[in-house]
Structure 1
Amino acid sequence: MPNLDTNKFDSALFLALIGNGGVERNIAGGTIVYSQGDPANSVYFIRKGTVRIATVSSHGKEAVVAVLGPGDFFGEGCLAGQDVRIGTAIAVVDSDIIQVAMSAILGVLKENHAVAGIFTTHLLARNVRMESDLIDQLFNSSEKRLARLLLLLANFGKEGMPQPIVSEISQETLAEMIGTSRARVERFMGKFRRLGFISGSGPIEVHSSLLSVVLRDNMHSIAIAAEDDAQLSEQ
């Protein structure tokens, strides 16, 4: 059995470890991968593309739980005893996804410590990411939520160079993903372009300067805290 390098996920090697339990799927943008309430019996790995996970309350209100990209797993709740999906997974753009049967991956996790290590790292990272997403939804302005989403879609913070956001992601989709109106997204996108944070009329180039929108309030709070500390030390 081949060994899996825990420092860099190799999807081809992962499929080799899974054997017949893994299936590669090409999902068109806008297609539902699975729906809330469906049986939970598979785990998914994103090779290319973007997937959003959303959940709908009993009152019909939808909330985007996560936006995932290449190198991310999703649907792993079935490994912890989740019988049905608690959210809906939708391909935001054309995506290449590996679907792995729960029984197949449970067998590999028991036999291969490298795979188990990757999943442990993944789950810990997802917990941190979900906390950040929750804070973003609860406390941040729609402008900051949009800036953070654009950075996530462009793969900022991951290995390799940031990627342009494909033109298939419309302003309507962006508005839906951050819980605001298309008009507000259009206004913010225009502002980001004028300030040089993004560029391009087709695929959107996201520049690192967009981080200033996300960090703006945080840096202000840090500056205030530093000033308070300085005043206390002088007393």
Structure 2
Amino acid sequence: MPDSQQPSPPRLDWRSLSGQAGLDERELRAACRRRRYRRGDTVFHEGDPAGPFHLLDIGRVAVRLTTLLGDVSTIDILQPGDTFGEQTLIHGAGDRSATVVALDRVETLTLDAATFDELGARNPAVQRFLLMVLSNRLRATSHQLLEARFLSAEQRLAHCLSRLAHMFADESTDVIPLTQTDIASMTGVTRSTVNRLLHQAAADGTIEIARGRLRVLDAARLHHRARTI
């Protein structure tokens, strides 16, 4: 069972992973095409034909899936240093497995399968880099499954809010641009439970609740709660 007093393990940045794989970041960047998105833009939709692999360089994105009941569920928030769309480098043709939406100004470095193969033919470190990206993804997913299995609703929510507060800490207003429904789907907690727990946190001055977003008022208390709840 994971220790609830331990923070979630940090995801490894693709820039550090490239170095660990022996791949020069400058070579990787030179092989990529930069793409830019405005807040609210959809990078790609679930079910779209497979496209390039994305290295998130600037901004944050939400990853969303359609449930069996037809609802749209936010399953993760990614920040600079994260990656998405790597399945296209493995399977080639196919469909996107999720929808990715820009939460603010976003820039990604993209690498299509053909360019990846050409780069890999010149430099074996490219294949090691992909393996490390996939290993990093598996590690994060395994931790999420452990949290869902062993932590209480209060603990999962505290960990989620602490991570989001850290992720959006560079914003001058400390605003987390997510709805309570987003947070409920990310934590596997019911919407009503999230509403109750968030209002408790608002009552003690930890957060401020607004329509479609949260504002962190006391990040230190939030991080402490995630470690000790």
Residue 80 (structure 2) pairs with residue 67 (structure 1): no
* Aligned counterpart, 1:210: 222
* Aligned counterpart, 1:143: 154
In 2, Cα distance between the equivalents of 1:32 and 1:214? Answer: 31
Deviations 1:36-56 (A, max 9, x none): 211112111111222232322
The answer (yes or no) to whether the contact 1:34–1:89 under 8 Å persists in 2 is yes
3-state secondary structure, aligned to 1:6: helix
* Cα shift at 1:170: 4.2
3-state secondary structure, aligned to 2:156: helix
Residue 124 (structure 2) pairs with residue 92 (structure 1): no
Which of 66, 70, 90 aligns to 1:80? It is 90
In 2, Cα distance between the equivalents of 1:87 and 1:93? Answer: 19
In 2, Cα distance between the equivalents of 1:189 and 1:58? Answer: 27
In 2, Cα distance between the equivalents of 1:59 and 1:199? Answer: 31
Which of 125, 129, 132 aligns to 1:121? It is 132
The answer (yes or no) to whether the contact 1:151–1:206 under 8 Å persists in 2 is no
In 2, Cα distance between the equivalents of 1:153 and 1:130? Answer: 17
- Opposite residue 46 of structure 1, the aligned amino acid is L
- Opposite residue 14 of structure 1, the aligned amino acid is L
Q: 1:13 to 1:190 in 2, by over 3 A?
A: farther
In 2, Cα distance between the equivalents of 1:215 and 1:191? Answer: 18
Q: 1:199 to 1:64 in 2, by over 3 A?
A: closer
* Cα shift at 1:76: 0.2
In 1, Cα distance between the equivalents of 2:137 and 2:223? Answer: 21
In 1, Cα distance between the equivalents of 2:208 and 2:139? Answer: 30
- Highest RCO, 1 vs 2 (Cα 8 Å, sep ≥ 6): 2
Residue 121 (structure 2) pairs with residue 107 (structure 1): no
* Aligned counterpart, 1:42: 52
* Cα shift at 1:96: 2.2
| Worse overlay, 200-209 or 89-98 | 200-209
Runs of 4+ that moved beyond 6 A: 8-12, 199-202
What are the within-5 Å matches in structure 2 for residues 2-21 of structure 1?
Answer: 6=19, 14-16=28-30, 18=31, 21=32
Q: 1:44 to 1:155 in 2, by over 3 A?
A: farther
Identity percentage of aligned residues: 24
Gapped runs of 5+ residues in structure 2?
1-16
In 1, Cα distance between the equivalents of 2:104 and 2:154? Answer: 22
How many equivalent residue pairs? 206
Which of 17, 22, 43 aligns to 1:33? It is 43
* Cα shift at 1:75: 0.5
* Cα shift at 1:128: 0.8
TM-score by length of 2: 0.68
Q: 1:192 to 1:113 in 2, by over 3 A?
A: farther
Deviations 1:80-115 (A, max 9, x none): 115111222222333222233222223223323444
